[in-house]
Structure formats: C-alpha cells, structure tokens
C-alpha cells in the first residue's frame, strides 16, 4: 500500500485493493484503477460527499469478487451516487426515466473527470444498466424489496437497505392512521358542548377576542376527536392557536394534561411551542375550570429526542416499539423539519390507540437530512380515498390583517414565490404584491419586501444593517451593564434588562443559504463582529466574543440542558464572589439562566446571521435574505419561501435579480418512496 493510502487503512481500502491484486489487477492496470479512484475522490466534494466515501464504496463493491475491473469501477460509482443522493436529502437514487438517467449521467461526469476518458461517463452508465439488467452484482444489489444487500433496486430506483426498511416501516405505521377512524365513542353532543364552551371563552390580545375561523374549527374538532390529524399551513395561518384550542378541547373531553405529550424537532421550536401555549392560555377570557387546570399543568413541549428518551452515550432511545410512550395524545409541531429516520422512530414509539396530531408547513424546506416526510404525508393524505378527512390545509393568513401594508405584502410575495411565479419582480406591479427595488443600502426603509441588487453591495448593506439592528442606544446601554448575581440568581431589574436584551437580539436576523462562501453565515458574522470591534481583528480563527453579541448553540449540551439552535447573548456578570466574568444568557422556561462563556465556547457560534435551515421554526420582525453570488443547486423556491416567511414585518433581499429568478424557477428535487408506499396496499 502506498504512503498516500495509509489514511484509509481503517476504511478497508487496502483490503479491497488486495482482492483486486489477487485477481491479477497489478502493474499498469492497478495504477490506472488507482488513478480513476483518485479522480473520483477529488471530485466527491462536488457531490457534497467526503473523499472517504469513494473508499467506502470500493469496499462495498468488493463483495462482488467476479466482476471485471470496468464493471467493478462502474459498481463503485453507482454506490457512490447512492451516497450522494442520500446526502442531498433523497431516500433513493433515480436511475430510470429521462430525468433519472440525466441525473445519473451528470453525477458520473463529475466523478469521472478526465482520468477515465472522455466517453467513460456514457460507457459507465451503460455498464450500470447492464449490471442491473443481468443481475451481475447480487451480493451488492438485491433485485427485490425484501432482499438483503447493501443496495436494493425497486423499479427505477436504488435504495440503501436501511433507508428502504425505514421508509417501509414508517409507511406501515402511518397507513392505518389514514383511515380517518374516530377514536371517541362518546356522543357527538359532548363534542359540540365542549367546542361551544371553548368558543365562548376565547383568548384576547389588547382587548381583541381571537375567534377561530371555520377551517381552524374543523382542524380543532378533527384533532380532538380522531386518531390522526395532519394540519398544514403557512406562517400566520394560526397553527399555534389551533394547538391551544386542541389542548382546551381535550381538557373538556376529560383527557388529563399529563397524558398529553407535545414535541418539536428542535429545542428552539419546542421552546417556542411551549411559550406560545402558555402565553395564549394566560390571555383567556373567563377561563373555565378545565382551562385553569390546564394552565396549572400545561404539558411542556420537548424535542422528539427528549420525548423518546434518547441517550447520547449509547445512541439509543428509551421508547420504541417494545417500550412505547404512555400518552393519550401526541402533538408534534414544525413537522416539515422531520427526517425519515426520526419520524420512523417516533411512530414506532406511539401506541396505535394514541391520538397523533402533526402540524407544519408542507411548502417549507424539508429536513436537512434524508426524506421529505411531511410533504409526502400531506400529498398522500390528500390523494388517498379517505385521507382527505385526515388532512386539514389552512389557507388564510392572519398576517394579511396587519395594519402595516408592508407586512401584508410578505405572505403575498411568499405565496407567489412558492408557486414559482416571478410576478413579484415585475416593475410597476400591484401595490403590496411587488418587491420594491432599492438602488443603495441607504435607501432601504425595512418595510415590506425590498431588494438591493447593486453589484458589490453586500458590505454596504451589512454596515447599514449593523447601524439599524445590531447597535443603538438601548442595545448599547444593556450591553454596557454588568449584571450582578445573587444567591437567588438576578434581581428583578437585572432579569428584566437581560430579557429585553435577548428580545432585541431575537427581533432581527440575517439569513444565508450556506455557512461558507463569501455570502455565507460565517463570513457575515465575522464582518459584523469586526464592525463592533474597537481594535484590530486578530488573525486567529478563534472569535473573541464581546458583551452583547448574539450566539447560538450548534450542538446539544445535555449536561446543561441546552440544545442545538438555542439562542443566547454574551453578557458581563459579577458573580456572587465579586469577580467579573463573561457569561452567556439564555431565556428559558424557569427564567434567565447564565453559563460561563469558556465552558460553552466550543458549542456556540455568532448568530447575527444563520442559514435559512437554522431559522426554521423561528420568526423575526426583520429579516435579511442574502443570495449567493452564483447560482447554487440548493437555491430553490422552497429556500426562498422559507426565508421570506421567517419575517413578520420586513425582508431585505440582497443579491442579483438573475439569481433570485433562478431560485424561484427551481424546486427541490427529493426522490422518496413514502407517498407511493402510503397509497399502496399494506405489505404482507
């Protein structure tokens, strides 16, 4: 084994090579084979793969000892493409049909480069088709859904074994729930009386009674009286109000609060779910006795990992098919963020007789990892013979009732983007339905949806954003304070100031498509950090956090019960011993909590800017959406729609109009079989 190969010894590449040498692949042929693998390795990152993926694929291909080297190389590339499809969020690789063949040839062209020869991508595609048609790799590719091999062919798709099993198990768990069966044998009069009483005691904000719309009422009654309910709707359609109404209905129908579980995919989304429910319950007009009992014991929303009792040390869940949850009702919010594997684990842990309510926005970005579960589930439910009764689609956005015309324009423009329409970019469009172009950053009003498309305008924009949102007299006053800790935490004044600082930092956010690249979140954060620094920026990559800077957890910290996505602010604290130190403050259910900055340094990063994916489940008063300098495959209408709908009042889009148009025209292409499985006959 050459010196260059030694880092891959643990991956089994040397073992695979020895198998090739044993068959006589030596000398020039071996060098040519290595050259081809090195080319594929160097190109792997273009398919969002680590270079080691090529060596993993080679080891899997070595399970077929009788292939000639051209067929073996084609098999290695097929395995690699299946890994790339999974990395891009698909649960399976399309190999058939015009679109599938075109995608496969595109990936082969990237992997092969010049080392394989100009015609090799086409030759390789034909070899793959022959290998599949003649079943030449049965130890690597099973030809039936119930086969046992690393890859499984199902029609025009190639699955990894574990993904097909997870998809099949999830479909088998969900399919019976699509039958729309009622779970209440109680008389309908009891349900009517419960809803009438709920309707007579609404919540109120600033003296305005919040009355449920007809579509919201249908969702609440369906969820409170049925075994399975899917509720999809965009921001402002009242999903939080529906959750509160469901809880109140269940309380009136005799379900104890401790028998209700609430969950969301992330800690941030779970915290927001809990806070919204508590705030709404606190604003009830003339609460009933059941409402008072619910207030006193409102279920705490948890991450799905926490709900299932995930152990980071063992990598296992306490609750599963053989140890299911003890809950009468499970309500899951932000379901668009659910991936295939986690959803399968969740459904396995929910008893068949337990009511399940899933809420989300099927038009948002799907999960970061493989699957488009909520999209597929909504699609299947709306197309199933009985499933339409299971799925409620909310269409009216209450943001359209905002007194601010600019705020009303956001859902209108977001809806157009979601349809793939570029009408919002048309000059002279209808008032409130068009993006307003600004020539300079200084011209931005931060009202409605504006666009700054001047070349090289990013830094000018960031300087304007910094003055508008990142600093200011109130932020500077709160940042300059040293917050004194007592034996009982902070006094009332310090708690109020810390809470206000956290609110100000959480009111605005810059959203980027990527972490890296010149328009990525990392560079934007460093630029804004430097704007607030008084001295020269150190050459070190280590950030010297300043008091007042917003930060975000990037990994779970189970010891401190902090979770990926939690937002905090760096503050200066005088401890009980009298020493001053830098700490990070978080707003949690039990109040303001602070933790030493040095203890969290490896788990946090600046959050003036985050990726659009990281912002899912959050809402802000003001959002900036930074477009990349070049068209990227991840730029899609789902990405733009999700970014736009994070804001309640204003969105500033920074980037070229041609890039925006390219994103509006592109849909996310995720290949998944869940919809088809849900609509198919049950597996035997």
**Per-position DSSP letters for 84-129, written without gaps between them:** HHHHTT-SEEE-SHHHHHHHHHHHHHHHHTTTT-TTHHHHHHHHHH
| Cα within 13 Å of Cα(626), Cβ side | 31
Q: What is the pLDDT of residue 1?
A: 39
Distances (CA, A) of 379 to 346, 382, 444, 638, 675: 20, 5, 40, 16, 7
Q: What is the pLDDT of residues 488-508, one digit of tens each?
A: 788 888 889 999 999 999 899
DSSP string covering 153-214? EETTEEEEHHHHHHHHHHHHHHGGGGG--B---S-HHHHHHHHHHHHHS-BEETTEE-PPPH
Please compute Rg for the chain using Cα positions. 27
541 — phi, psi (to 5°)? -75, -10
Q: What is the pLDDT of residues 332-359, one digit of tens each?
A: 999 988 999 999 999 999 998 899 999 9
Residue 2 has pLDDT above 60, yes or no: no
Q: What is the pLDDT of residue 625?
A: 95
Residues 489, 434: Cα–Cα separation, whole Å: 49
Q: What is the mean pLDDT of residues 319-334?
A: 92
Which DSSP state fits 423?
Answer: G
Is residue 655 very low, low, confident or very high in pLDDT (cuts 50, 70, 90)? very high
Q: What is the pLDDT of residue 216?
A: 87
Average pLDDT value over all residues in the chain: 83
Is residue 312 very low, low, confident or very high in pLDDT (cuts 50, 70, 90)? confident
The token pair at 98 is: 């015009």
10 Å CB burial of residue 633 (0-12, 13-18, 19+) is: exposed
Is residue 405 very low, low, confident or very high in pLDDT (cuts 50, 70, 90)? low
Q: What is the pLDDT of residue 207?
A: 57
Is residue 487 very low, low, confident or very high in pLDDT (cuts 50, 70, 90)? confident
Q: What is the mean pLDDT of residues 151-167?
A: 92
Residues 61, 675: Cα–Cα separation, whole Å: 31
Calculate helix-pair angle for 27-43, 69-87, nearest 10 degrees. 10
Q: What is the pLDDT of residue 386?
A: 60
Is residue 609 very low, low, confident or very high in pLDDT (cuts 50, 70, 90)? very high
21-30, 280-289, 648-657: least confident range: 21-30
> Within a 10 A sphere around the Cβ of 48, how many other Cβ atoms?
15
Q: What is the pLDDT of residue 239?
A: 85
Beta carbons of 264 and 273 less than 8 angstroms apart? yes
Residue 11 has pLDDT above 50, yes or no: no
Is residue 225 very low, low, confident or very high in pLDDT (cuts 50, 70, 90)? confident
pTM metric for this prediction: 0.81
Q: What is the mean pLDDT of residues 176-180?
A: 76
Q: What is the mean pLDDT of residues 434-446?
A: 90
Q: What is the pLDDT of residue 472?
A: 81
Q: What is the pLDDT of residue 524?
A: 93
> Within a 10 A sphere around the Cβ of 460, how many other Cβ atoms?
15
Q: What is the pLDDT of residues 110-146, one digit of tens each?
A: 888 766 667 878 888 888 889 999 999 999 999 988 8
Q: What is the pLDDT of residues 191-207, one digit of tens each?
A: 888 888 888 888 766 55
Q: What is the pLDDT of residue 450?
A: 92
> Within a 10 A sphere around the Cβ of 629, how many other Cβ atoms?
15
Q: What is the mean pLDDT of residues 208-220?
A: 82
**Which has the higher per-residue pLDDT, 420 or 46?**
420
Q: What is the pLDDT of residue 186?
A: 53
């Amino acid at each position: 084994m050459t010196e260059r190969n030694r880092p891959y010894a643990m991956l089994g590449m040397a073992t695979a090579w020895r198998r090739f040498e044993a068959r006589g692949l030596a000398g020039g042929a071996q060098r040519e084979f290595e050259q081809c693998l090195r080319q594929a390795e160097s190109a792997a990152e273009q398919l969002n793969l680590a270079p080691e993926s090529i060596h993993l694929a080679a080891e899997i291909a070595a399970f077929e000892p009788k292939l000639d080297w051209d067929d073996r190389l084609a098999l290695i590339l097929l395995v690699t493409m299946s890994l790339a499809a999974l990395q891009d969020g698909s649960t399976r690789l399309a190999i058939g049909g015009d679109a599938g063949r075109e995608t496969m040839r595109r990936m082969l062209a990237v992997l092969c480069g010049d080392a394989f020869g100009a015609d090799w991508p086409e030759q390789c595609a034909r070899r793959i088709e022959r290998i599949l048609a003649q079943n030449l790799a049965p130890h690597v590719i099973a030809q039936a859904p119930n086969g046992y091999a690393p890859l499984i062919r199902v029609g025009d798709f190639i699955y990894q074994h574990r993904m097909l099993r997870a998809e099949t198990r999830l479909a088998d768990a969900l399919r019976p729930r699509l039958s729309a069966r009622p779970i209440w044998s109680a008389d309908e009069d009891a349900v009517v009386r419960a809803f009438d009483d709920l309707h007579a005691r609404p919540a109120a904000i600033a003296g305005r009674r919040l009355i449920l719309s007809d579509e919201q009422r249908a969702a609440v009654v369906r969820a409170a009286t049925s075994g399975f309910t899917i509720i999809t709707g965009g921001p402002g359609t009242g999903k939080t109000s529906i959750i509160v109404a469901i809880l109140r209905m269940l309380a009136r129908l005799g379900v104890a609060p401790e028998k209700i579980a609430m969950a969301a995919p992330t800690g941030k989304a779970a915290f927001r779910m809990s806070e919204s429910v508590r705030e709404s319950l606190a604003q009830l007009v003339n609460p009933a006795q059941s409402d008072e009992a619910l207030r006193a014991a409102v279920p705490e929303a948890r991450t799905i990992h926490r709900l299932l009792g995930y152990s980071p040390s063992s990598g296992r869940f306490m609750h599963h098919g053989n140890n299911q949850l003890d809950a009468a009702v499970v309500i899951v919010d932000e379901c668009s963020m659910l991936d295939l594997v986690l959803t399968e684990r969740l459904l396995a842990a929910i008893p068949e007789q337990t009511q399940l309510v899933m809420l989300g926005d099927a038009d948002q970005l799907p999960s970061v990892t493989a699957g488009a579960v909520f999209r597929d589930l909504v699609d299947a439910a709306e197309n199933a013979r009985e499933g339409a009764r299971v799925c409620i689609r909310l269409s009216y956005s209450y943001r359209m009732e905002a007194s601010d015309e600019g705020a009303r324009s956001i859902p209108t423009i977001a809806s157009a983007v979601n349809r793939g329409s570029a009408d919002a970019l048309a000059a002279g469009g209808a008032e409130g339905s068009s993006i307003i172009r600004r020539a300079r950053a200084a011209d931005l009003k931060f009202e409605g949806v504006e666009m700054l498309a001047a070349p090289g305008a990013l830094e000018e924009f960031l300087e304007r954003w910094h003055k508008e949102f990142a600093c200011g007299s109130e932020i500077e006053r709160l940042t300059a304070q040293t917050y004194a800790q007592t034996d009982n935490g902070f006094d009332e004044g310090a708690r109020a100031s810390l809470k206000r600082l956290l609110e100000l930092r959480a009111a605005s956010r810059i959203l980027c498509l990527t972490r890296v690249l010149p328009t990525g979140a990392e560079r934007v954060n460093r630029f804004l950090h430097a704007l607030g620094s008084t001295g020269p920026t150190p050459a070190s990559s280590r950030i010297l956090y300043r008091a007042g800077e917003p930060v975000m957890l990037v990994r779970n910290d189970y010891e401190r019960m902090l979770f990926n996505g939690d937002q905090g602010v760096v503050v200066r604290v005088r401890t009980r011993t009298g020493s001053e130190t830098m700490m990070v403050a978080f707003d949690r259910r039990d109040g303001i909590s602070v933790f030493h900055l040095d203890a969290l340094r490896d788990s946090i990063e600046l959050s003036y800017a985050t990726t659009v994916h990281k912002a899912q489940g959050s809402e802000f008063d003001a959002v900036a959406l930074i477009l990349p300098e070049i068209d990227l495959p991840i730029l899609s209408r789902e990405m733009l729609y999700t970014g736009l709908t994070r804001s309640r009042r204003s969105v500033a889009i920074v980037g070229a109009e041609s890039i925006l148009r390219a994103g509006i025209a592109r849909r996310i292409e995720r290949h998944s079989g869940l919809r088809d499985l849900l609509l198919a006959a049950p597996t035997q």
